[in-house]
Structure 1
Amino acid sequence: MDHLSQLPSGRHGGARVLIYSHDTFGLGHLRRSRAIANAIAGERNDCSIIIISGSPVIGNFEFGSGVDYVRIPGVTKLPDGDYRSLNLNLSLDEAVGLRQDLILQAAQSFRPDVFIVDKEPTGFRGEVVPALEYLESQGCRRVLGIRDVMDEPALLVPEWERKGAKDVLVRSYDEIWVYGLEDVYRPLDALALPAAVERRITYTGYLRREVPPTPSLTRYPKITKQPFILVTTGGGGDGDDLIDWVISAYEHDEGIAMPALIVFGPFVNRDMRRSFMDRIARHPKLDAIAFDTKIEHLMQKAAAIVAMGGYNTFCEILSFDKRALIVPRTRPRLEQHIRAVAAERLGLARMLSDLGAPRTPERMAEALKGLADQPRPSEVVIPGLLEGLDRVQERLKALMESQAAFIPTRHAAE
């Protein structure tokens, strides 16, 4: 269905959408923003979408026709939870100031009809607020897009209060899109939002993923020619424990039938990866690759998936209908654990957690051996589960129609 074929626009070149990707760590925000941008562009060939991102690996990904990106200086998260500039020899305040100026400049130059902000209402350290205020004066419709689970209420509420995020959400956003289902989790419930703001929330369903139309350039190991388990930690910056646990299970138990392919991710620690590779090389049922920007090809080939349970990987597990074992990270956030608990409750995946139980090789080995007999997600019928991109298209069309009624001075000069 061509949801965007009739989108109005005040300028030559069709509708314009600006997306801010909150990407201080990992790949999750970038991959979600890319999926939305490519879906929008695929519906209409005269739509222009720009993603603003600080990700150092954004250039490794392919984008659809009509989609481009603006790379702002990156920041990185330190082990103690603080941040610093990724590459520039600037203080964090200077780096954030530069990012803020570039975001505002992009908004002023591109003049979007819709601005989609990922996850953080204020952006990283408030950097998106000036752009929000400017775009409000221009009649641009502003959307906050958030994943199905943010964090446990005990942490989310004080964090949003400290950032002033709730006030900005109430004041500056026309709509809130939750990329999940209300029956799975209500991520903003603990914030006690006003009723008028609650009415702005749309639960879209999860964002369906497709196999890229072009093949991956990554050479896959021989074990992928037979049924295999794909082990992925996303960006890999916080996946050491999962990789170690899986390798330990194979080292401990020769009875695990299916081999496993481990995908490290671009942010895995190099010394740790070298140590893992030494162990993997000694085991006939293990192999590894560094990174694959088109991991969807591997997802489709795999007989089963072991993952930490980040949002994007969960969408892929559902989209490719794969038996999955989710081993959620529980520090510093419980986001993945909350999602994994809900997935197991609904029968969509199994969970193996280290909360209240030790990470023994025996526990992982038993879980890996049980994957082959596990139900697929499609055996559970949940209405609207994977209709997220369709709902996004519908809401975008509605916003564009309301935006067309606002005739700002920016169009008068044209």
Structure 2
Amino acid sequence: MSITVALYSHDSVGLGHARRNRALAYALAADLPRLTGQRVRGLLIAGHPDATADSLPPGWDWLVLPGFTHTRQGYMSRSLDVSTERLWHLRSATATAALEAMSPDLFIVDRHAFGVDDELLPALETLRAAGTRCVLGMREVLDTPEVAAAEWERIGGASAVAHYYDAVWVYGDRNVYDPVATGEVPAELADRTHFTGYLSHGRPDDLLTESSVRAERPYVLTMVGGGSDGGHIGLAAARAALPTGHRHLILTGPQMPAEDHQSILDAARSSADAQQIKVSRNAPHVPHLVREAAAVVSMGGYNSLAEIMATTTPALIVPRNGRRQEQLRRAQALAAAGAADALHPEKLTPQALSGWLEEAVSRRTARDAVDLDGLMRVGDFAAREITPRPVGADLFTAPVPTLNETRPLPHV
């Protein structure tokens, strides 16, 4: 006997969704055999090929869907020369076929209940009829309550989500930030919403190899997640003065535009500290680099901060300054909890970073007041979900979306 788990992330921008699911995969692979006495296998469905650079537990594998990307004109094919409609059909059919073949006991979807433009609805119908338990996993901050409410409405409201999903897992500490209290998670879903704690302690950390990106200690670290919109932070970091005796490792991310990456390289080479600065696209062992750093500057994405909070490394969060308020609200909440410092993006300058780095490298940051043990609990949460249920049993009787409805493509 074995348990099969499938996880989905749409990954139109960044790698945060896939990295979160990867951390869950390792936690479930470690804990479910102990809790259930059965071996566990799994499939991670992702939407960006860079996701596969990260390893998975034995018996697990990646399925990468042809990618969507977000442009000024909306969501379009990332690489294939096909229409948005044709790509939607390809992704939806591929995901549905894979899930039918795997017949998972548990299906975990990251953030977007129905995927890109409802691409998951055919699969969810099939899984629901087969008795698969379905979980919607949510980061702790979505956006302003008004924006979040509009997004829920666009996918059919809480009733549509409740029809397909047995539970909602919020990957955070409700004492730091409570999206149910703010209204970002609708009240209708409150009775099936469970807070896991931040997915921090126990995140997978790939082994160092001869080709691994390294920095000689002491060093400071700047990282901007996938990098698609982190060029301004990397540039300010490359121009910042370093604390005496320290080196600087700047991770620009695999998705940073080439011109932004080149600007950071040029700034680093022209710096008075040029010999002490290393710029790299990516490193598979970020948790190790964060632990060993004297201080870290980071954007406010969930996964970057989850990795940082598992350490005592002082952190300065410079949140994304764009259409979404998610990173800014997270930065403010974690700063209020004493887990990190925050710098409003409008105040970002090389001088501001220089001053913070000079002070931060002489201290460490205790984060014991924040619940960081979510990965140690998800096995128990999953084991409780994997219970017999009558095939095809309704979870909610309110109207649900139909497969031929057209809805706006989701935000990241």
Q: Does the TM-score normalized on the shorter chain lie above 0.5?
A: yes
The answer on whether the counterparts of 2:227 and 2:255 sit within 8 Å (CA) in structure 1 is yes
Correspondence for 1:6: none
- 1:49 corresponds, among 38, 42, 55, to 42
Correspondence for 1:111: 103
* Structure-2 separation of matches of 1:338 and 1:35: 23
Is 2:63 the counterpart of 1:74?
Answer: no
The structure whose RCO (Cα within 8 Å, separation 6+) is larger is 2
Letter aligned with residue 254 of structure 2: P
Is 2:335 the counterpart of 1:335?
Answer: no
The answer on whether the counterparts of 1:328 and 1:336 sit within 8 Å (CA) in structure 2 is yes
- 1:232 corresponds, among 219, 223, 241, to 223
Letter aligned with residue 183 of structure 1: N
Correspondence for 1:144: 136
TM-score by length of 1: 0.87
Structure 1 residue runs of 4 or more that deviate by more than 4 Å after TM superposition? 254-257
Is 2:147 the counterpart of 1:155?
Answer: yes
Letter aligned with residue 359 of structure 1: L
Correspondence for 1:272: 260
The answer on whether the counterparts of 2:231 and 2:264 sit within 8 Å (CA) in structure 1 is no
Per-residue CA deviation, residues 56-89 of structure 1 (Å, 9 max, x unaligned), is 21221111112112111111111x2611111211
Letter aligned with residue 299 of structure 1: V
Moved more, 336-345 or 364-373: 364-373
Letter aligned with residue 375 of structure 2: L
- 2:25 corresponds, among 21, 28, 37, to 37
The answer on whether the counterparts of 1:281 and 1:287 sit within 8 Å (CA) in structure 2 is no
Q: Percent identity?
A: 32
Aligned-pair RMSD on alpha carbons? 2.0
Give ranges in structure 2 of 5+ residues lacking alignment.
Answer: 393-412
- 2:298 corresponds, among 302, 307, 330, to 307
Letter aligned with residue 38 of structure 1: Y
The answer on whether the counterparts of 1:307 and 1:326 sit within 8 Å (CA) in structure 2 is yes
TM-score by length of 2: 0.87
How far 1:294 sits from its partner (Å)?
2.2
* Structure-1 separation of matches of 2:352 and 2:113: 40
Is 2:53 the counterpart of 1:65?
Answer: no
* Structure-2 separation of matches of 1:165 and 1:127: 17
How far 1:165 sits from its partner (Å)?
4.9
* Structure-2 separation of matches of 1:16 and 1:193: 30
The answer on whether the counterparts of 2:5 and 2:107 sit within 8 Å (CA) in structure 1 is yes
Per-residue CA deviation, residues 81-120 of structure 1 (Å, 9 max, x unaligned), is 6111112111111101111111111121111111111001
Correspondence for 1:244: 235
* Structure-2 separation of matches of 1:354 and 1:213: 31
* Structure-1 separation of matches of 2:380 and 2:175: 21
How far 1:194 sits from its partner (Å)?
4.5
Correspondence for 2:380: 394
- 1:174 corresponds, among 166, 169, 175, to 166
Q: How does 1:366-381 map to 2 (within 5 A)?
A: 366-378=355-367, 380-381=368-369
Give ranges in structure 1 of 5+ residues lacking alignment.
Answer: 1-11, 409-414
Is 2:354 the counterpart of 1:362?
Answer: no
Letter aligned with residue 246 of structure 1: A
In 2 relative to 1, CA 352–374 (structure 1 residues): closer, same or farther, beyond 3 Å? Answer: farther
Name the count of aligned residue pairs.
382
